[in-house]
Amino acid sequence: MKNLNHAPVPTSPSECALAIAIPLTREGFLADLAQPQEKDFVHHFRKGRGLGRADPEFCWQAYEAYEVALVKAVCSEVTRFGVTVAYEVRLNDFTRLLARFPVVTLVAHSRFVPVEPADVKDAFGLLKLLQKPGSHVHETIRAVFKLLDPQLLEDEVSARLDNVELQSRVARVIRTTAEEAEKRYWDNDPWQEQNSDVVRARLTRLEFEQAFPNCLVPARVVEFRDAIHTAPELIAAIPNVCPALLDLTVCNSVIPAAFIRSKRNCIVAANRGPVELRTRMYLYGLQIRLLTLEPKPFIEAIKEVHLGQSIFQTKGRKLWKLFVKFCNIIRGRR
- Over residues 317-334, the mean pLDDT reads 54
Rounded Cα distance between 110 and 330, Å, is 27
pLDDT of residue 193: 46
Question: What is the number of residues in the chain?
Answer: 334
Residue 312 pLDDT greater than 70, yes or no: no
Q: Does residue 218 have a pLDDT over 80?
A: yes
Give the sheet arrangement for strand 228-230, strand by strand.
109-110, 220-223, 228-230
Report the pLDDT averaged over residues 246-251.
Answer: 83
Per-residue pLDDT band for 324 (boundaries 50, 70, 90) equals low
For the chain, the average pLDDT equals 85
Pick the more confident residue, 66 or 326. Answer: 66
Q: Nearest to residue 261, comparing CAs of 235, 281, 286?
A: 235
The whole-model pTM stands at 0.85
Query: Lowest mean pLDDT: which of 10-14, 91-95, 179-183?
Result: 179-183
What is the Cα–Cα distance from 169 to 329, expressed in whole angstroms? 54
Residue 143 has pLDDT above 90, yes or no: yes
Residue ranges of domains in the chain: 13-112+222-333, 117-218
Q: What is the pLDDT of residue 53?
A: 92
Q: Is residue 191 scored above 50 in pLDDT? A: no
Nearest to 9 by CA among 300, 237, 217: 300
Sequential DSSP letters for 235-278: HHTS-SEEEEEEE-TTSS-HHHHHHHHHHSEEEEEB-SS---HH
Q: How far apart are CA 18 and CA 11, in angstroms?
A: 14
Q: pLDDT higher for 186 or 123?
A: 123
- The region of weakest confidence among 91-100, 165-174, 237-246 is 237-246
Give the model confidence (pLDDT) of 47-80 as tens digits.
999 999 999 999 999 999 999 999 999 999 999 9
**Percent of residues, the chain, with pLDDT higher than 90:** 62
> How many whole angstroms separate alpha carbon 178 and alpha carbon 201?
9
When mean pLDDT is compared across 115-124, 145-154, 246-255, the lowest value belongs to 246-255
Instruction: Give the separation between CA 168 and CA 165, rounded to whole angstroms.
Output: 5
CB atoms within 10 A of CB 142: 17
| 134 phi/psi in degrees, rounded to 5 | -100, 0
Give dist(CA 12, CA 16) in Å, integer: 7
Collapsed DSSP state (helix, strand, coil) of residue 279:
helix
Across the range 295-314, mean pLDDT stands at 74
* Residue 187: predicted pLDDT: 58
Contacts 24+ apart (CB under 8 A), 188-195: 188/272, 188/273
Average pLDDT over residues 153-161: 86
Q: How confident is the model at residue 334 (pLDDT cuts 50, 70, 90)?
A: very low
Kindly report the number of other CB atoms within 10 A of residue 57's CB atom.
Answer: 12
Whether the predicted pLDDT of 186 surpasses 70:
no
Confidence of residue 322 (pLDDT cuts 50, 70, 90): low
Tell me the pLDDT band of 184, cut-offs 50, 70 and 90.
confident
What is the rounded distance in angstroms from the CA atom of residue 229 to the CA atom of residue 21? 12
Phi, psi of 230, deg, nearest 5:
-80, 165
